[in-house]
Amino acid sequence: MSLTRADFHEQNLASAQIEARRLFEQKAVLQGAWLNWVASQIYTLRPVEYASMVRRELARLQEISEN
């Protein structure tokens, strides 16, 4: 039986949020080099749907930090 998209999302959301937070925390450390580094980190994540979840969560964290 394959997971529905909703099931996949539900099962992986907490993990994606933790991963995004871990990546986001490196922003202060890496500064100007962060963007290339974070892109390379996301590129290695599998499956692609999980990488997208992490990317969306990172965007949310960015938005919060800018406001």
Sequence letter at residue 13: L
Q: How many CA atoms lie within 13 A of 22 on its CB side?
A: 9
Six token digits for residue 61: 């964290």
| pLDDT the model gives residue 3 | 80
| pLDDT the model gives residue 2 | 75
Mean pLDDT of 33-50: 97
Return mean pLDDT, the chain: 96
pTM of the predicted structure, to 2 decimals: 0.91
Between 34 and 67, residue with greater pLDDT = 34
What CA–CA distance (Å, rounded) separates 7 from 4? Answer: 5
Is pLDDT above 90 for 1? no
pLDDT in tens, 16-39: 999 999 999 999 999 999 999 999
